[in-house]
Structure 1
């Protein structure tokens, strides 16, 4: 007896799905184990049992204090062992069951393998004979290898998603570190990073100093030196500007939700892309006001009121979307590449050229099925584009009609 289910309820949805899949594969393994097990099949049975035990252990593992950053490792362990068990199951099932699973294998192969991959093309050429029951040991081996290759391509696609997710989170923490450092520096030395302005006044003795947290109206006595606006800077000025920038960035996050689509990818890439906007908005608000104070923008030097300072901070915080939207586009493109279906290519001559093999003969069935040749000499059903349809689809569907 294998696969005693854990008494604890699953902590996450993916663990619940994984347990259900493991239970199904364990039932399939019990069914196959009940049959007479030859020497070569015994190794496959033991290998599949080992993969399922590892998958269940990974699904039930409690990482303790490492739980917040160990979910990806657990999921990778579960998925990789489940996929390996499914590849072994293809080699264990009977010919009838293997023929029934051929279409499922072909669907996965089409989703994740290149159109001119030799394994995909060979499986497409042999799919009709396999489904009709004319399955050979080499066909079963081809199905197992093609399924394993499809899962490897899926792992590569998910690895790109995971890599981009890690890059976005690392960038978020780096920007956040810079924002916090600026706030701390401004707290302990407010005059060094002053964001106070001194707009013009109608009286030479009156000086107005506008800061993010306060407005000062100073009447100077005759002979006194002109007051430096930086002397009125408050330790909370930079924090206030960054908060206004975060508020502006949050508005763009809400606006960008209309472009986010649901995904079955396990790494929440859209969330990482959205969170990056918040510290970036705080940083862009600080830098924008610093440029205004330095008269970098022609015609815009001094702000007259505290409300104007905060409004410009919020505007610069929202302006970060001009940069981070490129990150959003990259994230959506990466997600769209996972499981992207490609057109079937079943031209045996093209495969022969790529592999350096002799091209198949013009007569007879190109898949070597022999008994399954058509009465007209093995001519295959073709679509309007002249390509054969090996997976049994009607010609009008193969042509895109």
Structure 2
């Protein structure tokens, strides 16, 4: 190691799941030291010339001075850890060392207990798109798996740039939905990651169920910090600039379909289904400004569904997947007519040119231009309406079938003749 220690003594490494509980163990060590030595915080850094050696030290006082005593943690090949107690410059003080060793042991005992349950709230709702649409309002409060959803019944008005112009803007009005949930973790920041995953799954599944791009508008926050509240206006918008009242806008009452709760549970345990709905959601986030990448996302969602319907075929020589494009087109026929599928024949090639050669096809190639013509083709605009929108619709309908368990039983793929 690059550092020379005044003294070092190896301890019995705690028998814990380091990948899942290591961060909690470190936090518990720091908490114990704070109660015994009045330390104010801690830091972890990587040191050494070999392997990932972690050096843990506590801090004292307002200046954040580091304690002389440190803990070294070294990962070993079998997935376990080796742990040392060390002194940087001073001789060992047995009384202080005993407190550190006690912290190591108490922390190991603590991580074996049940995690704390954290109540949280968040806001989801329709995201601004250039396509507009009705203002959605959740018609009634509903329990969806472990989450509770209710309408905020408040119109929230926000702005976005109008095309490519710094002097113009467009309004987007929504009625956010309040989500209440409970996630487990030693600290809130650990539970928050679990809450974020739940929210992403919820937004993705509702986007499929309602056919509207729904996303997280205010991330999960512990209820200890207060309940999430939807503002009437974004902070930088002057109410005097608005024409009319948001209350006058037409709104569409929506209900959560009965199958959504079971669908969320499926997405939580099936990696392929989780990937499919997540990449569909990513396409929804991209479609207004990055049409070519949105198409890649929607095609990927359909490809993932195709592998739920047809068994994977691999080349005996190279191990690569075969018949991918054919499976894609055959899967489209489950939700589109023969004529529609034929019209989308160029789609897979467009997707491949984007992925493999960086080719872009949509309006993102013409920022700020309105390229419409009655007498000539406008391929960038045509791409969006002829290809992107139908593929998105097909992806949504296929994913709806997958979520509701109505896809046909998986079978070997048989290419159509000709």
Q: Higher helix share goes to which structure?
A: 1
Q: TM-score range by the shorter chain?
A: under 0.3
TM-score by length of 2: 0.21
Q: Higher strand share goes to which structure?
A: 2
